[in-house]
Structure 1
Amino acid sequence: MAQDFRAVTANRPAAGGSALASNKVLRNTYALLSMTLLFSAAMAGVAMATQAEPMHWLLVLGGYFGLLFLTTSLRNSVWGLVSVFAMTGFMGYTIGPIVSLYISAFSNGTELVMMA
């Protein structure tokens, strides 16, 4: 009984096609990450400029978890992107008073904040 030992190879897409698609996904991911980080920093700046008071810790915790669950539930729609920006903006706004406290409480506060 003769056996067939020929190599079987899987069909692969063109060499540049797969790399191009993964580079596009990676580029879009980093673009979204940078936009959310900049939005969070902008909202922290708004909170510092308006001298916002720190929120109650239960309100902050409820906002964090609520927006996190909202983002998870809307992850497959365009509203998921809006909720991601709402979550990062809320986080930035709640961090703003803490950053203001460090800047005003220490003589080298700006250096501490920028080195963190």
Structure 2
Amino acid sequence: MDIVRSFNDFVPGHIVEFKYYWIWHQGILTEVDPTKKTIKVIHYGTKHLFATRTIVEEEFEVDPLKQDIYISRADPQYSYTPDEVIGKARNRLGEQKWKSGNRSYDLCRQCVFK
């Protein structure tokens, strides 16, 4: 994973890692808006820490200069194209198959790698 230093480092269809409820969390980056300083991410989200996890597409305000955010660029030989990754992730929106042993990275792995 590479640290994000500017909005130019964000690449839709790749995995981003960021703090979510003070815990390191991963999701699929779908959109970047440098003007609004926001990114959209598909991930296992929740309304509060102990609620049921649901795959959602959520917008976050970010400042790469003040926050630690990482991006993972998968080897194209072993991964789907960014459009395919986003499509696979969007097809799972609303899913609630998260189990306590799962990690947010499991969703990313299933969408990114062949």
Bin for the TM-score computed over the shorter chain: under 0.3
Question: TM-score w.r.t. structure 1 length?
Answer: 0.22
Instruction: Decide which structure has the larger Cα Rg and report it.
Output: 1
More strand by share: 2
TM-score (norm. length: structure 2)? 0.23
- Give the structure with the higher percent helix: 1
